[in-house]
Amino acid sequence: KKGGAGGKQFEPPTLDEFVTFWKEHGFDSEKAKNVFHGYNDNNWHDSHGTKIQNWKSKVRFVWFKPENKKQSLQANYQTLTP
């Protein structure tokens, strides 16, 4: 097998693994699902066409930003009510 570090071939996560990783770090699960489907639809290549080698590292670097944190229940309530 050819691959990145240590010769390991990239294995994409399941949706469950991906969402759980986001939730464990306090990030929004809906955003996680959207990002997962985007990467999955692009055969785990990023927006520059580069093959993702380590999805956890990619998520931490690109997506774990304050604006992707879980909103409080109050903030969610306010966005759902007219």
pLDDT digit string (tens) for 3-22? Answer: 445 567 899 999 999 999 99
Return the higher-pLDDT residue of 72 and 68.
68
Return the higher-pLDDT residue of 19 and 78.
19
| Statement: the pTM of the whole predicted model exceeds 0.95 | no
- Burial letters 8-42, b for 16+ CB under 10 A, else e: eeeeebeeeebbebbeebebbeebbeebbeebeee
Percent of the chain past pLDDT 90, that is, above it, reads 68
Whether the pLDDT of residue 76 is over 60: the answer is: no
pLDDT of the residue at 3: 47
pLDDT digit string (tens) for 42-53? Answer: 999 999 999 999
Q: Give the mean pLDDT of the chain.
A: 85
